[in-house]
Amino acid sequence: MKQVLSYILENILDEGTDFKVEEEEQDGNLAFKIYAPKEQVGKIIGKSGRTINSMKNILKIKAVKENKRVDVQVFEKEA
């Protein structure tokens, strides 16, 4: 699922944007942490959170098949 999320981000963010995706699994829950530059965080979240919610929904489709829960968080990347 990390690869799917990375692929989506590569196509949303400006070319050459340096971002990082971390995946953590604990008690059947998956947590994805996205670290991106401050000026790109708005693109990830989208208007009224539509973009981030769409990404979550895509990941949830696969997670449901594996009986897992998914959470996606966005953080500003340290310079």
Asked if 76 and 41 count as a contact pair (C-beta separation under 8 A), the reply is: yes
Query: Within 10 A of 7 (CB to CB), how many other CB atoms are there?
Result: 10
Q: How confident is the model at residue 13 (pLDDT cuts 50, 70, 90)?
A: very high
User: How is residue 20 written in tokens?
Assistant: 């990082």
| 8 A C-beta contact, residue 45 and residue 53 | no
Report pTM: 0.89
At residue 22, does pLDDT exceed 90?
yes
Domains of the chain as residue ranges with CATH: 2-76 (3.30.300.20)
